[in-house]
Structure 1
Amino acid sequence: MQIDSHQHFWRISRGDYSWLSPDLKLLYRDFGPEDLQPLLASHGIDRTILVQAAQTVAETEFMLQLAMSAPFVAGVVGWAEFTDPGAVEIIERMADAPLIVGLRPMVQDIADDDWLVRPDLTPAFRTLIEQRLVFDALILPRHLSRLLVVADRHPDLSIVVDHGAKPFIREGGLDPWRADMVAVAARPNIVCKLSGLVTEAKADWTVIDLRPYVDHLLKVFGPQRLLWGSDWPVVNLAGGYDPWREVTLELLSPLSETDQAAVLGGNAARIYLSDRGRA
């Protein structure tokens, strides 16, 4: 099964996408299942993981409604405020929805770089473990050391690093991201998404720009712990779905068919859909 492990939908009129402004002309319109379906079909992709794009529970409920009418959506990664005094009850209530497979605080947008290691997040993380939900970590390179603390405190928590932690591809910077990812990959409860890299590169990116980063992720995580995702429609800022999918296949071509199949779908099925979601 081919799975796109990271895609979004949104409806501008909802008004809860604080990051989405008219300046982002390629993104400032509604995107729904009818827009994504032809792209999936053209690349032979069977299922997707739909990921939150707003920091509201209401948007998660909106995504769940959309997912019910889009059979290709296998699971939804929603949002909850982990520091809310009622976080445990909120997460437990969310977990009643069969298509919820994980939760994602938008850590990259939180002013406090130490937010991840706040002790009052512990009940939320424990509830994720109890409810068999994945923690999607939308982080930047400076957060990687804090993520290690979370992984060590909660070794049973399934953690997915989004977008390779957004390395500085545009500037050609590999360090200290490279060393930090070695440490992160040493934690067996952490896997990583091969997604969102082209939007961190320069506008005229080529495979040469991406190769050092993809090769490093393959080296430290191995093909059994990487999940391919499009980050559509955000990927439209960097050429679109087709170029990213095509360059991914080129970068993965040295792998065996078995390993390629793992990155392109098998790993996402194991991480997100073993206990939840839509088969």
Structure 2
Amino acid sequence: MKGRVDAHQHYWNVARADYDWMPRDHPVLSRNYLPADLAPVLAEAGISRTVLVQAAATVEETEYLLGLSDATTSIAGVVGWIDFEDRRHLQHLQRLKHHPNFLGVRPMIQDIVDDDWMLRDDVQWAYAALVELDLTFDALGFSRHLPNFLTLLRRYPKLRVVVDHCMKPPVRDHGTAQDAFSTWAEGMSRIAAETSACCKLSGLVTEAGDGWSAEDLRPYVSHVLAAFGATRVMWGSDWPVCLLNASYEGWLGTAEKLTAHLPEGDRMEIFGGTAQRFYRLAR
């Protein structure tokens, strides 16, 4: 399959010291991950381009990532960050818009204590600006955020939105919390049916328990595919976060296995076409 795209991966340099979420001295996370580390993995996997996503809540990190994109041909675009609580950051959106690799932004909603933060009056200007500037919005959260995301997306129907990591369903608790699966599934179905949002097939392995298998992930993958359809689903590695529970090749192989029954055209959408179209990646 040619022209494959990894729709969600990260690079970071821990010396930057703006990754507030990162545990200190973590054996997997707290080390540098840079293009030279991923290049051979991409080549082996047949991935030609990636979407590089912010990992720090600073504009400075966004500019750092754009610099990496200038020097790295495999980076097709960058999803950055601005402060939704500071209207002065409109100037950053307007400025960054002119960089050919700047795609949009991702506020780190999963880390915000107030679940209703996204609906606060003082942050609405940012969504309106994204619509006006025709930039993308990566929706990062947990299952409990689904009702508020639905409200938000219906409020801004022209906002170009992709749900990150299938909204992090409770995979590790699937056997003991069927109600949690049903709540997640219903919320995702409503997002799919009532909005134009896409969904990233990513992040599931880090929500799974130790010793997970493809069958543990199958109900979630099947539901996302049924709800959104292949033309609104894009695969992402979430590398290097995925290394907490799987290798890049391991997660990619699992995703391929769980989509192997689909027609080739659908698989081409999931592993490249949807990301190409949603992010308007230059060919």
1: CA distance, partners of 2:76 / 2:201: 18
Partner Cα separation in structure 2 for residue 67 and residue 278 of structure 1: 13
SS at match of 1:136: strand
Q: CA deviation at 1:24?
A: 2.3
Partner of 1:88: 90
Give CA-to-partner distance per residue, 1:28-70, whole Å, 9 cap, x none: 1101000111111001111000000000000001000111111
Is 1:91–1:124's contact at 8 Å kept on the other side of the alignment?
Answer: no
- 2:196 — aligned with what? 189
Partner SS, residue 255 of structure 1? coil
Matches of 2:167 and 2:25 in 1, distance apart?
25
Distance (Å, rounded) in 2 between the aligned partners of 1:140 and 1:23: 26
Deviation string 1:133-159 (CA, Å, 9 cap, x unpaired) is 110011111111011111111100011
Give the C-alpha shift of residue 119 in structure 1.
2.0
Look up the SS of the partner of 2:237 in the other structure: coil
Deviation at 1:89, TM superposition (A): 1.9
Instruction: Confirm whether residue 110 of structure 1 aligns to residue 117 of structure 2.
Output: no
Residue 246 of structure 2 corresponds to 239
Higher helix share: 2
Distance 2:95 2:86 in 1: 14
Question: What is the rounded CA distance, in whole Å, between the counterparts of 2:149 and 2:23 in structure 1?
Answer: 30
Confirm whether residue 180 of structure 1 aligns to residue 182 of structure 2.
no
Shift of 1:90: 2.2
1:205 pairs, out of 206, 212, 216, with 212
The aligned counterpart of 1:14 is: 16
Q: Does 1:61 align with 2:68?
A: no
Q: Which piece of structure 1 moves more, 118-127 or 257-266?
A: 118-127
Please say if residues 73 and 278 of structure 1, whose CA atoms lie closer than 8 Å, have aligned partners that are also in contact: no
Contact kept, 8 Å, 1:195 with 1:229, in 2: the verdict is yes
Instruction: Please state whether the residue corresponding to 1:192 is helix, strand or coil.
Output: strand
| CA apart distance, 1:186 | 1.1
Give the alignment's TM-score, normalised by structure 2. 0.95
TM-score by length of 1: 0.97
CA distances 1:220-265 after superposition (whole Å, capped 9, x unpaired): 0011100100000001001210110001000000100000000000
Q: How many angstroms does 1:122 deviate by?
A: 2.1
Q: Which of 135, 138, 141 lines up with 2:137 in the alignment?
A: 135
Tell me if 1:161 matches 2:197: no
Secondary structure, aligned partner of 2:279? helix
Counterpart amino acid of 2:42? L
Which structure would you say has the larger RCO, counting Cα contacts within 8 Å and 6 or more residues apart? 1
Would the aligned equivalents of 2:214 and 2:254 in 1 still touch at CA under 8 Å?
yes
CA contact (8 A) 2:105 2:137 kept: yes
1:225 is matched with which residue: 216, 226, 232? 232
Q: Distance in 2 between matches of 1:181 and 1:53?
A: 24
Work out the CA distance in 2 between the residues paired with 1:117 and 1:27.
Answer: 31
2:130 and 2:94 mapped to 1: Cα distance?
8
Q: Aligned AA for 1:198? A: V
Whole-angstrom distance in 2 between the partners of 1:26 and 1:87: 33
Task: Calculate percent identity across the aligned residue pairs.
Answer: 45
- Would you say the 8 A contact 2:109–2:140 is kept in 1? yes
2:132 and 2:91 map into 1 onto residues whose CA distance is 12
Equivalent residue for 2:45? 43
Structure 2 counterpart SS, 1:159: strand
| Bigger mean CA offset, 159-168 vs 88-97 | 88-97
**Quick one: which amino acid aligns to residue 123 of structure 1?**
W
Q: Which runs of 5+ in 2 are unaligned?
A: none
Q: Deviations over 1:198-234 (max 9, x none)?
A: 0000111001100000000001001110010000000
**Distance in 2 between residues matched to 1:189 and 1:91, nearest whole Å:** 23
Shift of 1:127: 1.2
Residues of 2 paired with 1:132 and 1:235: CA distance? 30
In the alignment, the residues of structure 2 paired with residue 98 and residue 127 of structure 1 have an alpha-carbon distance, to the nearest angstrom, of 18
